[in-house]
Amino acid sequence: MTKMVATALLTLALTLGSAAPASAAPCKDAKGKFVKCPPKAPVKKAPCKDAKGRFIKCK
C-alpha cells in the first residue's frame, strides 16, 4: 500500500515539475537565452447582437 502511494506521489511530482520548462521554451532563442516573448494574439469578440438576438453593427 505505501509503495503505491509513494509511486503516485512521485508520478504527480514529475508531471507537475515537467510542465514549467515547457511553458518557458517559446521565450528562448537558439542559444537558450531568455528573450522577450511575442505578444499574444487578441481574442476575437463574439458577434454583436441586440436584446432580441438579432445581429447589429458592433461599436
Please tell me the pTM assigned to this model. 0.29
Identify the CA nearest to 35 among candidates 47, 43, 44, 26: 26
Whether residue 49 contacts residue 55, with contact meaning beta carbons closer than 8 Å, is answered with: yes
What pLDDT shows up at residue 45? 75
Q: Looking at this protein, which amino acid is placed at residue 49?
A: K
Which residues have CB under 8 Å from 56's CB, separation 6+? Answer: 48, 49, 50
Give the model confidence (pLDDT) of 2-49 as tens digits: 776 667 556 666 665 544 455 556 788 889 899 988 888 887 777 888
